[in-house]
């Protein structure tokens, strides 16, 4: 109960919980552009961005759901 109260108080102060995102909005747009061009594989995009393939797929999925 005290933990929930503390988390609620932190949210009220504008704090967020969880791990910070590895890719910012600009990088996500670049990933989307590269993926849509079909000239670069997901493996190559992941290597360019210094993240794993699952991160690329996650940001592509989040980006597509945000667009709908």
Please write the tens of the pLDDT for every residue from 6-24: 999 999 998 888 888 889 9
Instruction: Flag whether the pTM goes above 0.75.
Output: no
Contacts for 48 with CB less than 8 Å, ≥ 6 apart: 34, 40
Reduced 3-state DSSP string for 20-42: CCCCCHHHHHHHHHHHHHCCCCH
Contacts for 49 with CB less than 8 Å, ≥ 6 apart: 23, 27, 30, 31, 55, 56
Cβ–Cβ < 8 Å for 60, 31: yes
pLDDT tens per residue, range 28-44: 999 999 999 999 999 99
């Amino acid at each position: 109960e005290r933990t929930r109260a503390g988390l609620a108080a932190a949210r009220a102060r504008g704090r967020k919980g969880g791990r910070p995102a590895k890719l910012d909005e600009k990088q996500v747009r670049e990933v989307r552009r590269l993926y849509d061009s079909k000239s670069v594989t997901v493996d190559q995009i992941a290597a360019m961005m210094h993240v794993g393939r699952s991160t690329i797929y996650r940001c592509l999925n989040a980006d597509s759901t945000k667009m709908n």
